[in-house]
Amino acid sequence: MDLFEYQGKQLFARFGIPVSPGAAVSSVDAAVEAADRLGYPVVVKAQVQVGGRGKAGGVKLANNTEEARTHASNILGMDIKGHVVRVLWIEKASDIEQEYYASFTLDRAAKQHLGMLSARGGVDIEQVAAEEPDAIARIHIDPVDGLPEDACREWVTRARLDPRATDGAVAILLSLYRAYTEGDADLVEINPLILTPEGNVHALDAKVSLDDNAAYRHPEWSEFGGQESLDRREQLAKERGLQYVGLDGTVGIIANGAGLAMSTCDVVNQVGGSPANFLDIGGGANADVMAGALEVINSDDNVQSIFINIFGGITRGEEVAKGIVQALERVELRAPIVIRLDGTNAEEGRAILKDHESDRLVSKPTMLEAARTAVELAGAGEAR
Amino acid sequence: MSIFVDENTKVVVQGLTGSQGRFYGLRNRAYGTQVVAGVNPKKAGTDVEGIPVHATVKEAVADTGANASMVIVPAPGAAAAVMEAAEAGIELIVCLTEGIPMHDEAMFFNRLRRDFPGTHLIGPNCPGLLTPGKCNIGFIPAEVAKEGGPVGIVSRSGTLTYQALKELGEKGIGVTTCVGIGGDPVPGTSFIDCLRRFEADPETRAVIMFGEIGGSAEEEAAAFITGEMTKPVVAYVAGVTAPPGKKMGHAGAIISGSKGTAQAKMEALRAAGVRVGLNPTEAGDLMAEVVAAL
C-alpha cells in the first residue's frame, strides 16, 4: 500500500523524524483555516500517488489568506496524470539551503537492505543516478545487524553533505531505518531532505510504500486505507481480494498465479487479441473466488469473451469448475467463456463442466488453442 | 541424478495437520516421496494417516532421520518455522507459505546465510520441487512430468512451472528435476543456484528456465550462463504485454536502471546464447529441437 505524503509524514513523526507542521484537508475552507492557523507563508500541496505533481501545478506557495484560497480551490479536484486531487496538505513553508535525497529499500540482487543518500537531492535524482552514480552514497545493511550508528555516520560522511547537516542527518537516517523495518515498509524515501539556513535537517517530502503482507501485525494501518482512486472494476476486484489490473482490450482474463496470468495476456496478444485485464485469482482459490472473479470481469462492458486459464497446483480443478457453475447460476454472463483446465484434480473439474458445456462455455485442451478460440469469440462479439 | 532431492530425501512437514498441509503432504507421499513426519506442538503423538506428528522439528529429525522440510504454515509463523528447521539441522527447507512479510524474509535469509551455511532454502512463496519418479515436495502436479531427464527446469512463477513440465511432458521429454523458486522479493534459491547445480549434474543435459518481469534475477542468470554454463538453455519470460506497474519513489528505478522489463530480460538472455520462446509452447518447441540435437 502506497501512502500519501501526509500519511508518510505522520508515520515519520511517530518515529521521531522531524517534519514541517501541517494539516491534511479536503475542502477549500478547511485549507484556508489551516493556513491561517499555521501562519504564512505556507505551501499548498496536492496529495496524489504519482510523481511530477509540482510540474503539473499541484504545489504552490501562499503568502496570505487570499493566495491560500486561490491555490486550494485551483488544486482541489485537479487531475494529475489521471489522479484526481481530493486531499491537500497545507504545510508551513521552509527556508531551504540545501536539498538531499535519502531512502531505504530492499536490494533484491544483494538480498540485503540498501540505504541511498545523496547531496544532490531534488526532482532529478534518477538522472543524477544515471549520469553520476558516485553522487549517491550507498550502504548495504544486513538485517541481522541492522544499522549501527557508527556505520551510519561513516555513510553520511561519504555522501559529503554540508558538515552542519551531519548530526541531523545521522539521527534522521537511524530513525528512518527504524520506520522502514519496524514500520514494515518496502520503501521509505525522503526527497528532499533539507538543510535550513539555521542548520536544521528535516523531511520535506515522504514516500512510503507499506508491505501488504505485514498488515496483519499493523492494525493502525486501517487509518491509511481506502483512499486510492480506483476505477469501478478495480474497486470491485479489491473488495473480493483479487489481484486485478484493468486494461482496455476485449478478452477478459482469469488465471491462477501472476506468472500464468501475465503469460495468458502475452498469448492472447500473440494470437491477435487484446486482454481486457490481468486477473490473478491466486493460489488455492475456491469456488467462491472464481465466482467473484467472473462477476468482476462481467462488470467490464468491453469484454466480449472470457478466457479462464487454470493450471492447478495448489488450486484444485473441481473447485474452479464449481465456481464457474455457481457464477453461471448467480450472474447473467454477457460474454462466452473459454476454459483451459489443467493440473491438480483437472479431470474432476472437467467432468463437472461437461454437463454445462455449450456455445457459451467452451473447453480447450491447451493454452494456445483456448487463446485462439477466445480471440475469435471476442472478434465475433465486437462484430455484433 | 537430480538436484536437491532424490529417492533418499526424507521429508518432515511443518504444518501437516492443517488442511493444506494434510492434502499436499499425503499427495506427496502417494507420489512416492518419503514423508516421514509432521510437526505440531499441540498435536504431538498423533498421526496423519500413519505419518507421526512430533512436537518439534528436532524431535522429528531424531526420530525419523528427516533431512528435508516442507514448510506449509500460515505466514505469521513461517519465519519461526524456517529457523526451527535450520536449527534442527535440516539441510533442505522448502517454504511454500505465501504472504510472508518482506522484512521477515530478508531476516531469515540472512540468518541462514550467516549461521547455517549448510542449510539450503527454496522459496518462500514457491510451488516446491520435483524429481520425477523419486521425490515431490510441494504443490507441483507431478502426473504431467516424465521422469529421467535430460532436461532440468527452473521457474519463478508457480503455475508456469507446471506449464513448463506440461510442455515437455507432452513432447515425451523427461525431466531430471523441476524447481519452482518462487517470485518473492527474497527467494532463498536463485536461478543461478539451480543453473550451477544443473551444470554439475551429469544427467541434466539442457535447462529450461521460465522467468517473469520485475527484479533482475533473469539478467543475473544471463551473466552466469555466459560465464559458466556449457549446457544449452532455453527460456521464456512472462509479461511482455504487462502494463508498467505504478511504482512510487525513485529508489527502485535507481537500483535496477533499465532492467526489469520482459524485453530487457529476453535481450540479456539472447545475448548469453539462450534460445528464447515468446510463449510457453514455443519454449517447449525450442527445447524439443535442443533435445533432438543432443
- Grid coordinates given for B223: 551473466
CA distance B57 to B89: 9
CATH of the domain at A351: 3.40.50.261
Catalytic residue, from A100, A101, A177, A244: name it.
Answer: A101
Residue in this structure with the C-alpha cell 551429469, named with its chain if needed? B202
Residue A14 lies in a domain: no
Domains observed in chain B: 10-122 (3.40.50.720), 141-293 (3.40.50.261)
Query: What confidence score (pLDDT) does residue A247 get?
Result: 87
Query: What confidence score (pLDDT) does residue A230 get?
Result: 63
Choose the mutation target among A124, A311, A316, A367 for the interface with B, i.e. most B CBs under 10 Å. Answer: A311
Task: Indicate the residue type of A264.
Answer: T
Contact (CB, 8 A) for A278 and A253: yes
Q: A-chain residues within 8 Å CB-CB of B185?
A: 106, 108, 186
CB contact under 8 A, B163 and A367: yes
The answer to whether B263 contacts chain A (CB < 8 Å) is no
Q: Is cis: bond before A143, omega within 30 of 0?
A: no
CB contact under 8 A, A109 and B216: yes
CA nearest A138 in B: which residue? B255
Sorted by sequence, the CB contacts under 8 Å of residue A312 that are 6+ apart come out as A256, A320, A341, A342, A343, A344, A345, A346, A349, B141, B162
Helix A367-383 to helix A258-270 angle (10° resolution) is 60
Catalytic residue, from A67, A189, A318, A319: name it.
Answer: A189
User: Do A219 and A264 belong to one domain?
Assistant: no
Give the residue from B178, B185, B249, B257 showing the smallest Cα distance to B217: B185
Query: What confidence score (pLDDT) does residue A355 get?
Result: 87
Among A143, A263, A312, whose Cβ lies nearest the Cβ of B106?
A143
Q: Is the dihedral of CA A33, A35, A39, A41 positive or negative?
A: negative
User: Do A181 and A199 belong to one domain?
Assistant: yes
Query: What confidence score (pLDDT) does residue A281 get?
Result: 87
CB contact under 8 A, A111 and B156: no
Query: What confidence score (pLDDT) does residue A151 get?
Result: 98
Q: B-chain residues within 8 Å CB-CB of A217?
A: 76, 101
- Percent of chain B surpassing pLDDT 90: 85
User: Do A130 and A258 belong to one domain?
Assistant: no
User: Do A239 and A359 belong to one domain?
Assistant: yes
Query: What confidence score (pLDDT) does residue B255 get?
Result: 67
Let me know if A223 is exposed, middle or buried by CB neighbors in 10 A (0-12, 13-18, 19+): exposed
Query: What confidence score (pLDDT) does residue B249 get?
Result: 64
Mean pLDDT of the B237-259 span: 69
Q: A-chain residues within 8 Å CB-CB of B238?
A: 259-260, 262-263, 266
Query: What confidence score (pLDDT) does residue B245 get?
Result: 59
Residue A117 lies in a domain: yes
CB contact under 8 A, B163 and A260: yes
CA distance B26 to A273: 41
Q: Is the dihedral of CA B145, B148, B153, B154 positive or negative?
A: positive
Residue A9 lies in a domain: no
Q: Is A189 a catalytic residue?
A: yes
The answer to whether B117 contacts chain A (CB < 8 Å) is no
3-state SS, residue A306: strand
Sorted by sequence, the CB contacts under 8 Å of residue A314 that are 6+ apart come out as A283, A284, A344, B20, B24, B127, B139, B158
Choose the mutation target among B136, B159, B224 for the interface with A, i.e. most A CBs under 10 Å. Answer: B159
Cα B30 to Cα B49, B143, B232: the distances in Å are: 11, 12, 34
In which domain, by residue range, is A179 found?
98-224
Q: B-chain residues within 8 Å CB-CB of A179?
A: none
Q: B-chain residues within 8 Å CB-CB of A284?
A: 20
A213–chain B nearest CA distance, Å: 5
CA distance B234 to B284: 8
Give the residue from A260, A248, A257, A276 showing the smallest Cα distance to A374: A276
Contact (CB, 8 A) for B64 and B86: no
User: Do A206 and A135 belong to one domain?
Assistant: yes
Q: How many alpha carbons fall within 13 Å on the CB side of residue A177?
A: 22
Let me know if A295 is exposed, middle or buried by CB neighbors in 10 A (0-12, 13-18, 19+): middle
CA B73 to centroid of chain Cα atoms: 17
Structural domain count, chain A: 3
CA nearest A178 in B: which residue? B103
CATH of the domain at A81: 3.30.1490.20
Q: A-chain residues within 8 Å CB-CB of B213?
A: 262
Give the residue from A285, A294, A293 showing the smallest Cα distance to A317: A285
3-state SS, residue A252: strand
The answer to whether B108 contacts chain A (CB < 8 Å) is no
Residue A257 lies in a domain: yes
Residues pairing with B208 in the sheet = B153, B234
Within the 2-61 window of chain B, which residues sit less than 8 Å (CB to CB) from chain A?
20, 24
Q: Which of A175, A190, A224 is the last residue of a domain?
A: A224
CATH of the domain at A159: 3.30.470.20
CA distance B132 to A127: 49
CB contact under 8 A, A108 and B217: yes
CA nearest B218 in A: which residue? A109
CA nearest A102 in B: which residue? B251
Q: Which of A73, A92, A111 is the last residue of a domain?
A: A92
Residue B147 is given by DSSP the state B
Give the residue from B284, B65, B108, B92 showing the smallest Cα distance to B179: B92
Residue in this structure with the C-alpha cell 552466469, named with its chain if needed? B224
User: Do A48 and A168 belong to one domain?
Assistant: no
Q: Is A6 a catalytic residue?
A: no
Residue A250 is given by DSSP the state S
Query: What confidence score (pLDDT) does residue B247 get?
Result: 56
Query: What confidence score (pLDDT) does residue B175 get?
Result: 97
Q: A-chain residues within 8 Å CB-CB of B141?
A: 311-313, 342-344
Residue A10 lies in a domain: no
Contact (CB, 8 A) for B156 and B182: yes
CA distance A377 to A305: 6
Residue A135 lies in a domain: yes
CA nearest B281 in A: which residue? A368
Name the phi and psi angles at B87, rounded to 5: -65, -25
Sorted by sequence, the CB contacts under 8 Å of residue A154 that are 6+ apart come out as none
3-state SS, residue A175: helix
Q: Is cis: bond before B124, omega within 30 of 0?
A: yes
Query: What confidence score (pLDDT) does residue A238 get?
Result: 82
Bridging pattern class, strands B68-71 and B120-122: unpaired
CB contact under 8 A, A126 and B140: no
Contact (CB, 8 A) for A136 and A128: yes
User: Do A155 and A61 belong to one domain?
Assistant: no
CA A243 to centroid of chain Cα atoms: 12
CA distance B29 to B38: 12
Mean pLDDT of the B104-133 span: 97
Name the phi and psi angles at A328, rounded to 5: -65, -35
- Per-residue DSSP letters for A34-83? HHHHH-SSEEEEE--SSS-TTTTT-EEEE-SHHHHHHHHHHHTT-EETTE
User: Do A173 and A277 belong to one domain?
Assistant: no
CA A288 to centroid of chain Cα atoms: 26
A254–chain B nearest CA distance, Å: 13
Give the residue from B152, B203, B204 showing the smallest Cα distance to B180: B152
User: Within 10 A of B252 (CB to CB), how many other CB atoms are there?
Assistant: 21
Within the 195-254 window of chain B, which residues sit less than 8 Å (CB to CB) from chain A?
210, 212-213, 215-217, 220, 236, 238-243, 246, 248-254
User: Do A26 and A132 belong to one domain?
Assistant: no
Model-wide pTM > 0.80: yes
Sorted by sequence, the CB contacts under 8 Å of residue B59 that are 6+ apart come out as B44
Residue A1 lies in a domain: no
CA distance B42 to B62: 19
* Mean pLDDT value across chain A: 91
Choose the mutation target among B24, B108, B254 for the interface with A, i.e. most A CBs under 10 Å. Answer: B254
- Grid coordinates given for B77: 509463523
CB contact under 8 A, A103 and B163: no
User: Do A51 and A111 belong to one domain?
Assistant: no
Q: Which of A199, A224, A249 is the last residue of a domain?
A: A224
CB contact under 8 A, B186 and A263: no
Task: Indicate the residue type of A105.
Answer: T
- Percent of chain B surpassing pLDDT 70: 95
User: Do A126 and A220 belong to one domain?
Assistant: yes
Higher pLDDT, A287 or B220: B220
User: Do A134 and A86 belong to one domain?
Assistant: no
Sorted by sequence, the CB contacts under 8 Å of residue B219 that are 6+ apart come out as B259, B264, B265, B268
Name the phi and psi angles at B31, rounded to 5: -75, -20
Residues of chain A where predicted confidence (pLDDT) is lower than 70: 123, 226-231, 284, 383-384
pLDDT at B3 over 60: yes
Query: What confidence score (pLDDT) does residue A226 get?
Result: 59
CA nearest B76 in A: which residue? A216
Sorted by sequence, the CB contacts under 8 Å of residue A272 that are 6+ apart come out as A375
